[in-house]
C-alpha cells in the first residue's frame, strides 16, 4: 500500500453559498452587464467627439472600436450564460472564432483608409468595455 488512500485532503473549510447570496450576485452581474456598456459608449463617444476635429479617422476608429467592444462583451456574456445552461462548449468556441474574425477585419479597414496607427485607436475602444468590466467586477464581488 502506498498510503495515498489514508491521507485526507487538508485545506480551507468549504464555504457555504446560499440561495440569497446567489440571487444577490446575479443581480450584481445583471447590473454590471447594463452599466459597463453605457459607460464605455459614453466615454468613447466623448473622446471621439473631442478628437474628431484633429484626428477624424482615428476618432471614428475609436468609436467603432467601442461599439464593437460592447457588442463583443455582450455576446461573450450571452454565449457564456448559454454554455453554463446547456453545457455545450462547441457553440461557445465557434462563436468566439466568428467574433475574432468579424471584429478583426474592422481595424484593418481603418488602417487601410486612414493612418495605419488608427488601428491602435480601434483597439483602445474595443478593449475599453473589457477593462471597465474587469476593474468594476473586483470591487463589486469583493467579500469580507
Q: Is position 48 within any domain?
A: no
- Written as tens digits, the pLDDT of the chain (144 aa) is 555 555 555 666 556 777 787 788 788 888 888 888 999 999 999 999 999 889 999 999 999 999 999 999 998 888 888 888 888 888 888 888 888 888 888 888 888 888 888 899 999 999 999 999 888 888 777 754
C-alpha cell at 36: 459597463
Q: Is position 15 within any domain?
A: no
Q: Based on the number of CB atoms within 10 Å of its own CB, is 44 exposed (0-12), middle (13-18) or buried (19 or more)?
A: buried
C-alpha cell at 50: 473631442
CA–CA separation, 29 and 128 (whole Å): 18
Helices (H), 4-143: 19-51, 56-86, 89-113, 118-140
Q: How many domains does the chain have?
A: 1
Place of cell 464593437: 68
Q: Is position 130 within any domain?
A: yes
C-alpha cell at 42: 459614453
Q: Is position 68 within any domain?
A: yes
Model-level pTM? 0.77
CA–CA separation, 98 and 68 (whole Å): 13
Q: Is position 32 within any domain?
A: no
Q: Is position 122 within any domain?
A: yes
Its domain, for residue 91, covers 56-138
Q: Is position 31 within any domain?
A: no
Q: Is position 23 within any domain?
A: no
Amino acid at each position: 500500500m502506498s498510503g495515498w488512500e489514508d491521507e485526507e485532503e487538508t485545506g480551507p473549510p468549504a464555504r457555504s453559498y446560499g440561495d440569497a447570496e446567489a440571487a444577490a450576485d446575479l443581480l450584481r452581474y445583471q447590473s454590471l452587464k447594463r452599466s459597463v456598456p453605457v459607460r464605455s459608449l459614453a466615454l468613447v463617444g466623448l473622446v471621439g467627439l473631442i478628437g474628431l476635429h484633429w484626428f477624424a479617422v482615428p476618432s471614428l476608429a475609436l468609436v467603432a472600436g467601442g461599439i464593437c467592444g460592447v457588442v463583443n462583451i455582450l455576446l461573450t456574456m450571452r454565449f457564456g450564460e448559454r454554455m453554463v445552461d446547456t453545457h455545450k462548449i462547441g457553440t461557445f468556441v465557434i462563436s468566439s472564432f466568428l467574433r475574432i474574425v468579424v471584429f478583426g477585419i474592422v481595424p484593418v479597414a481603418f488602417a487601410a483608409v486612414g493612418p495605419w496607427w488608427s488601428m491602435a485607436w480601434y483597439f483602445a475602444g474595443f478593449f475599453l468595455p473589457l477593462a471597465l468590466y474587469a476593474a468594476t467586477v473586483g470591487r463589486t464581488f469583493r467579500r469580507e
